[in-house]
């Protein structure tokens, strides 16, 4: 049995503070987390835990803030090298940058190199869990899971499936190979340690009816898996989808008809949803994923945070369409997008989106996203004075939220002083 005490300010939320109020917030100015065999065993005031466990090794982070490890609910790790590529709209961006880069993942060595680099970038930025698209190549899935297993991270991922002529010839599979490859990968990785396989049609415009139907069948056979895809990111994308599926009532119907709508479905972007689509997503209990830096970078539109009243909503970088690997930068963008739609998200809501809400979207509540006994010990330690500009703002703070908000709005990897994965410190510098 391995145990250690982590000391610092501790801050965690039990539920969406917008719905539950202050009782959902747990803040200790002088707090401690007891980690035992990779899980959180106790949380409370530091003097009490130190008195009960005087012989344990201690990591003392002083006044730094310990929060749950950040959870990125939608990303494309194969796009790591093309992050911040110049402009254009979604479809042009895919053809110019994304698809040529994804073709390189036919090389397992390249896939392994990028997968390791990507997960290390996440850890530097305080992200301990990610749900990622891979490429059509099974080796790309093996690479991210092997890298995650080596680091002990909780990672969800799946082979991206595309068989329609709208995708380039060098990145097409078939309906049958999508089913066969996905099933083989699912059997190899799903539920192995902290890893989960995700059934992954890229989006309906790059899949044939036969492929969507095959993946819908696979999901029906393995309903405990998540299914991830994109929906209603841009208006021209919606028009494209409708032209390819003229019989569909709307974009969501291109998934629903083929068994790709359900509670374990993750629908990325979801900016321009129609009323029927919102009703159906809410009826089945599906989850949406908000990708604010991507949506502003590619000019897609402004997500409606009011949908949280009816649907689970997670937060995500969407790298490389998104412009940062940092969930702090993503929280800042979420704040700005909401402001443009007339809503001022409280710092507690932003932290919840990046932790517990994303965990709930992934169906992992009770495992990650909170600092609570029984949860996995994924933690991020934040310096609330990481730059002079942030420090002078924090000095004026009247409460923990005023102290945290400058780091949310101006912080980056410099604010992350330590990241713990299953209780193991991951930053050595």
Q: How confident is the model at residue 87 (pLDDT cuts 50, 70, 90)?
A: low
Domain boundary among 361, 395, 415: 361
Q: How confident is the model at residue 279 (pLDDT cuts 50, 70, 90)?
A: very high
Q: How confident is the model at residue 8 (pLDDT cuts 50, 70, 90)?
A: very high
If asked whether residues 80 and 161 sit together in one domain, one would say yes
Domain boundary among 314, 331, 361: 361
CATH of the domain at 407: 2.30.40.10
If asked whether residues 104 and 17 sit together in one domain, one would say no
If asked whether residues 254 and 207 sit together in one domain, one would say yes
**Segment 95-109, tens digit of pLDDT:** 888 889 999 999 999
48 vs 94 pLDDT, higher one = 48
If asked whether residues 63 and 76 sit together in one domain, one would say no
Average the pLDDT over each of 20-29, 164-173, 256-265 and give the range with the smallest value.
20-29
Domain boundary among 361, 380, 401: 361
If asked whether residues 185 and 75 sit together in one domain, one would say yes
For residue 429, what pLDDT is reported? Answer: 47
If asked whether residues 94 and 177 sit together in one domain, one would say yes
**Segment 131-150, tens digit of pLDDT:** 999 999 999 999 999 999 99
The three state secondary structure string of the chain is CCEEEEEEEEEEECCCHHHHCHHHEEEEEEEEEEEECCEEEEEEEHHHHHHHCCCCCEEEEEEEEEEECEEEEEEEHHHHHHCCCCCCCHHHHHHHHHHHHHHHHHCHHHHHHHHHHHHHHHHHCCEEEEEEECCCCHHHHHHHHHHHHHHCCEEEEECEECCCCCCCHHHCCCHHHHHHHHHHHHHHHCCCCCEEEEEEECCHHHCCHHHHHHHHHHHHHCCCCEEEEEECCCHHHHHHHHHHCCCCCCCCHHHHCCCCCCCCEEEEECCCCCHHHHHHHHHHCCEEEECHHHHHHCCCCCCCHHHHHCCEEEECCCCCCCCCCCHHHHHHHHHHHHHHCCCCCCHHHHHHHHHHHHHHHCCCECCECCCCCCCECCEEEECCCCCHHHHHHHCCCCCHHHHHHHHHHHCCHHHEEEEEECCEECCCC
For residue 236, what pLDDT is reported? Answer: 93
CATH of the domain at 326: 3.20.20.140
Predicted TM-score of the model (pTM): 0.97
If asked whether residues 224 and 81 sit together in one domain, one would say yes
**Segment 197-218, tens digit of pLDDT:** 999 999 999 999 999 999 999 9
| Number of domains present in the structure of the chain | 2
């Amino acid at each position: 049995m391995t145990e250690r005490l982590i000391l610092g300010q501790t801050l965690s939320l039990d539920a969406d503070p917008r719905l539950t109020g202050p009782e959902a917030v747990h803040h200790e100015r002088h707090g401690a987390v007891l980690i035992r065999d990779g899980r959180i065993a106790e949380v409370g005031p530091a003097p009490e835990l130190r008195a009960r466990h005087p012989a344990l090794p201690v990591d003392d982070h002083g006044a730094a803030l310990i929060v749950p490890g950040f959870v990125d609910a939608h990303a494309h790790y194969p796009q790591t090298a093309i992050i911040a590529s110049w402009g254009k709209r979604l479809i042009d961006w895919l053809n110019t940058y994304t698809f040529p880069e994804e073709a390189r993942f036919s090389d397992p060595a390249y896939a392994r190199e990028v997968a390791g680099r990507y997960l290390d970038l996440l850890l530097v930025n305080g992200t301990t869990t990610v749900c990622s698209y891979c490429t059509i190549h099974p080796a790309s899935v093996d690479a991210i899971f092997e890298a995650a297993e080596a680091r002990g991270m909780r990672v969800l991922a799946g082979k991206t499936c595309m068989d329609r002529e709208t995708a380039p010839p060098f990145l097409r599979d078939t309906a049958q190979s999508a089913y066969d490859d996905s099933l083989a990968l699912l059997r190899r990785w799903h539920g192995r340690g902290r890893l989960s396989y995700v059934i992954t049609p890229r989006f309906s415009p790059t899949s044939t009816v036969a492929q969507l139907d095959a993946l819908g069948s696979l999901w029906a056979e393995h309903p405990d898996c998540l299914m991830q895809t994109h929906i209603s990111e841009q208006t021209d994308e919606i028009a494209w989808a409708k032209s390819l599926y003229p019989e569909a009532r709307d974009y969501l119907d291109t998934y629903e008809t083929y068994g790709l709508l359900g509670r374990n479905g993750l629908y990325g972007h979801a900016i321009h949803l129609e009323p029927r689509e919102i009703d159906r997503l809410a009826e089945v209990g599906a989850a949406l994923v908000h990708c604010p830096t991507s949506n502003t970078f590619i000019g897609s539109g402004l997500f409606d945070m009011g949908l949280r009243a009816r649907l689970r909503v997670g937060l995500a970088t969407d790298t490389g369409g998104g412009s940062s690997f940092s969930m702090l930068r993503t929280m800042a963008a979420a704040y700005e997008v909401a402001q443009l739609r007339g809503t001022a998200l409280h710092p507690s809501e932003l932290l919840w989106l990046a932790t517990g809400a994303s965990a709930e979207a992934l169906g992992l509540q009770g495992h990650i996203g909170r600092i609570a006994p029984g949860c996995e010990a994924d933690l991020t330690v934040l310096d609330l004075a990481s730059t002079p500009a942030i420090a002078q703002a924090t000095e004026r703070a009247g409460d923990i939220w005023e102290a945290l908000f400058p780091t949310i709005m101006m912080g980056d990897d410099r604010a992350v002083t330590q990241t713990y994965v299953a209780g193991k410190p991951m930053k050595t510098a």
